[in-house]
Amino acid sequence: MEGTKKGRALAGVMMTIFLAAMESTVVATAMPNAVGSLGGIEIYSWVGSGFLLTATVMMPLWGRLSDLYGRRPIYVIGVIVFLLGSALSGAAQTMGQLIGFRMIQGLGAGSLMTIGMTIVGELYGLERRARMQGYLSGVWGIASLLGPLIGGLLTDHVSWRWVFYINLPFGVIAIALVVSALREDRSSRRRAAIDYAGIALFTTGVSALLLALEATRTQPSGGPAVVGAGAVAFAALAGFVGVERRAAEPIVPLRLFTNRMVLAASATGFLAGMAMFGAIQFVPLFLQAVGGMTATGAGIVLIPFVLGWVVMSIVSARLVLRVGYRGLVVAGMACLVGGFVLLSRWSPSLTLPAAMRDALVGGVGMGLTMVPMLIAVQSAVERSELGTATSMTQFFRTIGGAIGISLMGAVMGRRLASGLDMSDALHGVFVVGLGVAVVALASAFLVPGGRAQDLARGGASGAPARPGAGVRAGAEIGVPRPTGVDGGRR
């Protein structure tokens, strides 16, 4: 019975994670038809940017709310908001409506990956959790690959609106699976005062930061929109830190960052996201504008990147108990550095096989890094802060990617403005990415050494485990509370 419930919950989580991942790529192939139907080509880029903005802002908030009020109700609310945004987006009559409804969709999407991975962290002990988190990362990668294909098929043979409507039946099934399988252990929950000031300041600060980064695509770094949004972001986030230090139930407990494992995961995730997600935006541009490849050829080059990430996520999840966290993360960051060394040597004579090889190296690096750090964080914090810690690893990676795109875009723009050709301008982008990757490699040594099992039992600082520390496997499905990290179950 226990295994059946875990299986249903896992299936529901995987389904919603697949939808969230696919939604980040499926829309791009539908947008030309949507513009033809709705108009508004001058603002269509906000269909993607608005979704990313709200999803990113909500990640830590959903995680913390699930810590305070339970995984099941908060997760279901998040999925419902996502489905509401999907239905409204499919029914949009103007580009402005589509952007607004996509932002609603993003509000819910922020919960799907973060709380989904948190649920898996609670359902399974350390050994099986490592395996399952690897599979979830694989689901994300496969969905990202299939998204453009599914979007193209739906747009060509049905309607662009169905790239949104297709979420509805699968989302309803996922809700049914999760609701039927998860039973909240209400005795572990506590009444908490909502940190309204913290939520308002965090939302304002992160939104303003992302808007400032978006503005750098069309304005110089000293432009009024960039400076204005940047000033608001600085003021709001500074105020947020002050509020969180005094709040009884902070929306982002700052004490988490005194945990060495959480600090290391935040730093490595931010830097790796900044380097890889920033540079990957410019790989297709180089291949088409400099290498003379078609859009299809450029897309093919990214397939090894995703496959390398997916395969090594699964492999690293299985190796983490034998090798430990630090060894895998250092190896992953070394691969990331190697990938950027190769990217920085690209020239107009680049061949398709060489480009695919170089992309594969970068994907392997990301796969070796991200899943082990997620498992490490989930094993190093109290159950009462599991959602917040999990969501913060996703948040810092996403924010790093946004900053990386902005920084590298500015580098390319300035080099083009100085009279360099596209090849030299993009060479500068990859060199900047290499520099960030080197810093990311250095940050990997912040990860505590030792066996994963020992770090989970005693926490990242090596202190003795307190009663209730770590993740209690099976607590969410109504089975007896196990003892130890894995509850004696394998």
Question: pLDDT value at position 221?
Answer: 66
**Cα-based distances in Å from 29 to 24, 149, 150, 472:** 11, 8, 9, 42
Least confident of 115-124, 178-187, 381-390: 178-187
CA-based torsion, 176, 178, 181, 186: positive or negative: negative
The span from the CA of 73 to the CA of 452, in Å, is 31
Between residues 14 and 27, which one has the greater pLDDT?
A: 14
Question: pLDDT value at position 80?
Answer: 95
8 A C-beta contact, residue 405 and residue 358:
no
Give one DSSP letter per residue of 228-295, joined into a string: HHHHHHHHHHHHHHHHHHH-SS-SS-GGGGGSHHHHHHHHHHHHHHHHHHHHHTTHHHHHHHTT---H
| In the chain, % of residues over pLDDT 70 | 89
Question: pLDDT value at position 322?
Answer: 84
Task: Provide the CATH number for the domain formed by 254-478 in this structure.
Answer: 1.20.1250.20
C-alpha closest to that of 68 among 191, 179, 186: 191
Mean of the pLDDT values across residues 13-42? 82
Q: Which helix (H) or strand (E) holds 483?
A: none
> Which of 63-72, 294-303, 359-368, 443-452 has maximum average pLDDT?
359-368
**Cα-based distances in Å from 268 to 181, 209, 333, 380, 437:** 34, 20, 9, 16, 10
Mean of the pLDDT values across residues 281-310? 83
> Which of 29-33, 71-75, 281-285, 337-341 has maximum average pLDDT?
337-341
473 has a pLDDT exceeding 70: no
Return contacts of 417-420, CB within 8 angstroms, 24+ apart: none
Task: Give buried/exposed letters for 70-109 (b at 16+ CB in 10 A, else e).
Answer: bbbebbbbbbebbbbbbbbbbebeebeebbbbbbbbbbbb
Residues across the chain: 490
Q: Write down the mean pLDDT value for the chain.
A: 82
Mean of the pLDDT values across residues 194-208? 88
What are the boundaries of each domain within the chain? 1-182, 254-478
| In the chain, % of residues over pLDDT 90 | 24
| Cβ neighbours for 203, distance < 8 A, ≥ 6 positions apart | 57, 61
Question: pLDDT value at position 474?
Answer: 37
pLDDT in tens, 108-158: 998 888 888 888 888 877 777 777 877 787 787 788 777 777 887 888 888
> At the topology level of CATH, where does 1-182 sit?
Growth Hormone; Chain: A; (1.20.1250)
Question: pLDDT value at position 189?
Answer: 57
220 has a pLDDT exceeding 90: no
* Residue 188: band (very low, low, confident or very high) from pLDDT cuts 50, 70, 90: low
Mean of the pLDDT values across residues 20-39? 80
Least confident of 76-90, 210-224, 242-256: 210-224
* Residue 468: band (very low, low, confident or very high) from pLDDT cuts 50, 70, 90: very low
Question: pLDDT value at position 226?
Answer: 84
Question: pLDDT value at position 470?
Answer: 38
Question: pLDDT value at position 484?
Answer: 31
Q: What's the 3-state SS for 171-218?
A: HHHHHHHHHHHCCCCHHHCCCCCCCHHHHHHHHHHHHHHHHHHHHCCC
Question: pLDDT value at position 391?
Answer: 87
Question: pLDDT value at position 100?
Answer: 92
Mean of the pLDDT values across residues 34-51? 81
Mean of the pLDDT values across residues 194-212? 87
1 has a pLDDT exceeding 70: no
Question: pLDDT value at position 488?
Answer: 33
Question: pLDDT value at position 227?
Answer: 87
Q: Give yes or no on whether 1-182 and 254-478 have one common fold.
A: yes
Between residues 64 and 144, which one has the greater pLDDT?
A: 64
Question: pLDDT value at position 187?
Answer: 55
